[in-house]
Structure 1
Amino acid sequence: MDDDFTAVVERTLVLHDHETGQKGEIRLAIGQPYWTEPGIEAACPVAVHGYFGRLADIRGIDPLSALTLAIKFLETLLEGLPETRTVHWPSGEAYF
């Protein structure tokens, strides 16, 4: 899996680990959708830089589906973090 891709959409947030007291910037990134099998399946590269790193490409039935599912995947991933970790906008306001 190629760790390097050009993001077509990204969002910068701050992850706070309440157990250690550490805060750090994370960057959600989704790359250009591409066909894995023309007319059958497309995928988008995704990453959470500063925390998970590069993740498996998110697949859908076409490029729009892959992009939509990639966005939903990243939101669900952040919502499922342990209670000891919270996500904030760079301004400090809670993300959720």
Structure 2
Amino acid sequence: MENTEKQNKYLRAKERVEAMKKFYNNLTSYIIVNIFLFIINYWTNGLSYAWFLWVTCWWGLGLLFHAAKVFGWNPAFSKEWEERKIKEFMEKEEEDYKSSRWE
């Protein structure tokens, strides 16, 4: 029993590490590509028209959501909220089951 619990913990930790590695790779790509786009934009237009900011903003927003998922930043749907909802649905299902039985 204890061995499977340790294996489960190990697998969950390994999944979290993999998710963090993917996030950091995404962040590195974001920084490198946006520096490259800034340089291209500066050489072609100067700073009069900063078209690269569209890419920077939208990709940055996606990166923010990725970070929220990886690091668990979710104030709207916290663990406490999730547990409350699970308990609520379980109680509702139990009530529905009791009310549908013929006794």
Query: TM-score w.r.t. structure 2 length?
Result: 0.29
Greater strand share, structure number: 1
State the structure with more CA Rg. Answer: 2
TM-score normalised over the length of structure 1? 0.30
